[in-house]
């Protein structure tokens, strides 16, 4: 169950809990521009997943991933719900999708 009402509420709270980096999706990894780090799917864990539906359009939904790397980085990744370009690696999609049904 999602304890947050909005994406901004979640990001602010998780920032206070140490998820201070911002991750972006790349074709075969996630990337943290703040410290120039790329993480392969086997180098990070998804601690929690939070879904947010758009206020006016349920198709305008986002997923917030709280991520911890095996290198000690903790951060957040925001992605449109269920939207993946064909250019993403199967391992990365599998890692992200594994948490959709469990939360």
Band (pLDDT 50/70/90 cuts) for residue 28 is confident
Tens of pLDDT, residues 38-94: 999 999 999 999 988 766 555 567 889 999 999 899 999 998 765 554 566 777 777
Q: What is the pLDDT of residue 103?
A: 47
pLDDT, one tens digit per residue, over 1-11 is 688 988 999 99
Residue 10: exposure state from Cβ atoms within 10 A (0-12, 13-18, ≥19): buried
Query: What string of DSSP letters covers the chain?
Result: ----SSHHHHHHHHHHTT--EEEEE-SSSEEETTTTEEE-GGGEEEEEEEEE--SS-TTS-EEEEEEEETTS-EEEEEEETT---TTS-HHHHHHHHTTTTT-
């Amino acid at each position: 169950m999602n304890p947050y009402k909005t994406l901004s509420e979640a990001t602010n709270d998780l920032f206070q809990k140490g998820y201070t980096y911002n991750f972006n999706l790349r074709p075969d990894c996630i990337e943290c521009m703040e410290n120039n780090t790329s993480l392969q799917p086997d180098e990070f864990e998804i601690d929690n997943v939070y879904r947010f539906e758009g206020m006016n359009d349920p198709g305008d939904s986002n997923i917030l991933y709280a991520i911890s790397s095996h290198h000690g980085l903790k951060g957040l990744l925001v992605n449109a719900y269920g939207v993946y370009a064909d250019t993403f690696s199967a391992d990365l999609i599998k890692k992200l999708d594994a948490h959709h049904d469990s939360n």
